[in-house]
Amino acid sequence: MEDALPTYFLSHGGGPWPFMKEQYGSTYDVLEASLADIPRQVGVRPNAVLVVSGHWEEREFTLSSSAAPGMIYDYGGFPSHTYQVKYPAPGAPQLAARAAILLAQAGFNAGLDPNRGFDHGTFSMLYPVYPQADVPVVQLSLRHGFNPQAHVDAGRALAPLRGEGVLIIGSGLSYHNLHQFGPGGRLASHKFDDWLRFALLELAPSERTGALLHWDQAPYARMAHPREEHLMPLLVAYGAAEHEAAACVYHEDEFFGSLAVSSFRFGQARQP
């Protein structure tokens, strides 16, 4: 797919972090720089962004279809100003409908939700990428049950959008155990991240797909992801570029002092 945009699996960080510079200091500097570099890698302004958010689950794959999505402050205990932030990107109802048709053609009962707004898996991640909020955005939910094959197949179904100027981003975290989000998570995050980078960067595509479909057999998998909603966006982004080269576009070994975390691109960068 020579003219296709790459796809991404990106860490969206914790809560409304881009709007808390005073509180977090330099904690998110490396992640922020990696996100800010994505427009350079993509090389063109996308016609739209399709975000698979780890913070939205439905019985069936569902797409936000509002022309002007609102905000969903799906976090708690943060400063009051973080419940007033806006990411006023337009929606893209035609893209939502097109994606629903592609999913339906692949055998999924895809739905449209005209009331769904942007959750922080979308706006916290996209703010450093497109701070002007001038690129239309559609969110795609996960499918309840988190069947890995279904999420890879959904990515395969959506792959044609890449040739239509749509940037597909899976938004989650490569390590997501909130009960061990610190020194207690060091071993699990490092072992799982080592496996994930090996699987994505070293294995042949056929072996790579099999490894992802059986991700829960990886070292420390269930300690890294007790519940896999923050990993499933990876499978959709991967499925949309299954046979293309992967690159690690963000990595830290000491995130929050101890955690290993990574983000990935699938397909070639197209920087001008």
| pTM passes above 0.85 | yes
Q: What is the pLDDT of residue 181?
A: 84
Per-residue model confidence as pLDDT tens digits over 39-81:
999 999 999 999 999 999 999 999 999 999 999 999 999 999 9
Per-residue model confidence as pLDDT tens digits over 123-142:
999 999 999 999 999 999 99
Binned at pLDDT 50, 70 and 90, residue 3 comes out as confident
Q: Check pLDDT > 80 for residue 212.
A: yes
Binned at pLDDT 50, 70 and 90, residue 270 comes out as confident
Q: CA 33 to CA 10: how far, in whole Å?
A: 12
| Structural domains of the chain in order of their starting residue, each with its CATH number | 7-266 (3.40.830.10)
Q: What is the pLDDT of residue 205?
A: 85
Binned at pLDDT 50, 70 and 90, residue 180 comes out as confident
Q: What is the pLDDT of residue 214?
A: 98
